[in-house]
Each structure stands twice: as C-alpha cells, then as structure tokens.
Structure 1
Amino acid sequence: MEGLKSFILMYAGLFAITNPIGAVPVFMGVVSHLPIEKRHEVARKVSIAVLVTLITFALIGQWIFKFFGSSVDAFAIAGGILLFRMGMEMLSGKLSSVKIDEEEVTLEEVAVIPLAIPLISGPGAITTVMLYTTRENPVIVILTIIAISVTVYLILSSGNKIIEKMGRVGIKVTTRMMGLILTSMAIQMIINGIKGAFNL
C-alpha cells in the first residue's frame, strides 16, 4: 500500500514536470504533414526516448554528468538554447529546420531531439528522477517512468484527432501561440541554469 502511494505521488509529480499535454501543440506542428501511421510512429519513438532517457539518468545520472564534466545546470542552459531557437522559428511560422520528412533516420532524430529531449524529459524531469532514486525504491521509480512514457505515447497519439479537427489554419495559429510559450519556457530554463551554475 505504501508502494502504491509512492507510485501515485511520483507519477503526479513527474507528469506535471514532463507536461506531455503541453507538448502536444509542438508535436502537432512538427508532424502535421505526415500520414497518421507516421505520426503514431513518431509518438512511439518519442515515448521510447523519454523512457530510456529518464531511466538512464535515474540509475546513473550522477556518474554521467561527472564523466563528461557537466552538470544539470549546463544541461538546462543548452536545452534552453535549443528550445529558444525552435520557439522563434515557430513564432515566424517557419518549421523548416525542425519539421521532419518520412525518412526513418530523420524521424528518429527529431523524435529524440527536440521532442523527447529537452521538451518532455528536460532538466527538471531528469533532476526529479535522480532525486526520486535517492529517496524511494528504485523499482517503483522505474515503474513510474514506464507509466509516464506510456502516458506520453497515448497523449501524443491522440493529438492526431486534434489535428484533423483544427485544420491547417488552427494548426498555424496554435503553432505560433506555442512558439511564444516555448520561447518563454526556454528563457526560464536558461535563467534557472545560470542561477544554479553561479549559485545566484
């Protein structure tokens, strides 16, 4: 019973941080031109990338950062810069550099970066799972991450219906709105990284 309570609390916290619902407009803007089968494939690849990323950092995150001489704060700054660039392109209505074609390699590349990392499994999520592992049963932490990954897939996959209902104009409007939100998220991510790096 205690394990179930921990699972629910961790799931709720990680869901809020990864915010897969907030990623849907970005996902739609990137895959709107693809057939439904490909959209589901991208959603599946994103969820797998989120799963692998969070489990990896939950188990050996500390050693990864130490090995490369990096930190979560540096990751936050780099991720923020990437999201800022993407957000600016979305604001201008230009998704040429982040849109994907139907080639398998490109599908995998964009599913991992920037959709899975850092949009969903960003610095906040990585830090959270690393902290969970030090405080909770690692098995429950892994089960929580698996549940989040499945949730990501289900939510992104359902975005296909939203695309069909919104139409091309709705997608363009949503893309620009999300671009503004994404740039603000990116700036905040960079600010948090700078604060952490310089102990401000």
Structure 2
Amino acid sequence: MISFFKTFLYVFGTLFAVMNPIGAVPVFLSIVQQCKSREGIISLAKRTSVAVLITLTTFALVGEWIFKFFGSTIDAFAIAGGILLFRMAMEMLSGNLSTVKISHEEEEEAVTLSEIAIIPLAIPLISGLGSITAVMIPMAKNVDYSGKAAVILAIFVASFSVYLVLRSAEKVQQRLGRVGIRLITRMMGLILASMAVQLVINGVKGAFGL
C-alpha cells in the first residue's frame, strides 16, 4: 500500500508540474474568447480533460510495446525523457509556456470548439511529449498491477485537476494575475527540473548497472 501511494504521488506530482494547467490558463482564455456562454467554457474544459485522460492512458498502456517495437530500453528512454523534461523546466523557470508544448501555428489551426479541445489544448499544450514521457516510464518500470494501477489513478486525478483549473480559468487569472501565474510556472519548473535530473540519474544507473 505504501508503494502504491508513493508511485501515485510521484506520477501525479510529475504530471501536474509538466502539464502546468495554471500556466496554460492565459492560452486557454485567449482560445475560448469565441465561447459566448459559461456552459460553453465548461464544456470545452471537460472535453479537453477527457482528451488528456484518453491520450495519457493510451500511451501508458501501450508504452511497453513501443519500447519493444523500436528496440529501446526503459533506461535509454528515461535519459532521453529526462533531457526533454529538463529543457521544458528551463523554459518554465523563465516564466514562459514551453515551446515544446505548443507553437503559434498549432494554436491557430483548430477551427471548431471540438477540435480546439483536442488540438491544441489537450495535445500538445497539456498532454505533450513531456506528459507522455512522465507516464510511460513509471508504467513500464512498475511490473506489478498495484504500481500500474497507481499510474492510471494518477493520470485520472491529474486530468480531473486540469478540468477544475480550466473551468475556473477566469477566476484563476483574476485572483493570481499574470504575475502570479508566472510565479507558479517558475515553481513548477523548479520541481520539474529536479525530477528531470533524477530521471537521468536513474537512467544512467540502470543503463550501466551502477
């Protein structure tokens, strides 16, 4: 049971830092300007969180087969993923929304609200490469069903937290302001940087049998 909660807290903490839903609030609000009603914003937040849940759960479940198909080891993926997460962390520490997540072109591609919920909000703004890496590695490393269940639960709770933040995006921005959002983004970046470094260390240890 202790191992279950440790895995859950680690994956949820990493996911929340990587997805950084609070940092995504300004982007979300700029995209949903065409929503005329409160119900429309809530519906968009719900669709986005469901898309995040489906995306991350899918990659968590098929991650091991992806490793086998490309002949990659978990340790190699951990090193590469740690480097990617560290790059994102450095951009977050500067108070910016990571370009690894979303580009200006991707932000303008979606036409309808249904499409916006999936691209660019769910993918790649929230559940981008960093989030996918954050679920694939612990899912592959936990061989017992308890550990895998903890990862899936962490994905569900993190996705639900995305819904709660986005549906209250206007209140979040009003209370925190842009300065507050940038401050939280930097704090998340610091947490993510430490996790990324530890991921690389664990990958190197596993690869060289240290």
The question of a shared fold, defined as TM-score above 0.5 by the shorter chain, is answered with yes
- Deviation, 1:159, is 2.2
State the TM-score, normalized to the length of structure 1: 0.72
State the TM-score, normalized to the length of structure 2: 0.69
Query: Which of 166, 179, 182 in structure 1 is aligned with 2:192?
Result: 182
- Deviation, 1:32, is 3.1
**Overall identity of the aligned pairs, in %:** 36
2:183 aligned residue: 173
Residues 80-99 of structure 1 aligned to structure 2 (within 5 Å): 80-95=82-97, 97=99, 98-99=101-102
- Structure 1 segments of 4 or more deviating over 6 A? none
- Deviation, 1:34, is 0.9
2:35 aligned residue: none
Q: Are 2:39 and 1:29 aligned?
A: no
CA distance in 2, matches of 1:31, 1:122: 26
The gaps in structure 2 that reach 5 residues or longer are: 30-40, 111-115
- C-alpha distance 40-28 of structure 1, shift in aligned 2 (>3 A): farther
- Deviation, 1:199, is 0.7
1:68 aligned residue: 70
- Deviation, 1:83, is 0.8
Query: Which of 33, 36, 49 in structure 2 is aligned with 1:43?
Result: 49
Paired residue total: 180
CA distance in 2, matches of 1:154, 1:31: 15
The gaps in structure 1 that reach 5 residues or longer are: 1-7
- C-alpha distance 99-56 of structure 1, shift in aligned 2 (>3 A): closer
Q: Does structure 1 retain, via aligned residues, the 8 Å contact 2:20–2:126?
A: no
Aligned partner letter, 2:172 = I
2:36 aligned residue: none
- C-alpha distance 71-43 of structure 1, shift in aligned 2 (>3 A): same
Query: Which of 91, 107, 113 in structure 1 is aligned with 2:128?
Result: 113
2:32 aligned residue: none
Aligned partner letter, 1:74 = A
- Deviation, 1:151, is 2.1
1:124 aligned residue: 138
Q: Does structure 2 retain, via aligned residues, the 8 Å contact 1:54–1:125?
A: yes
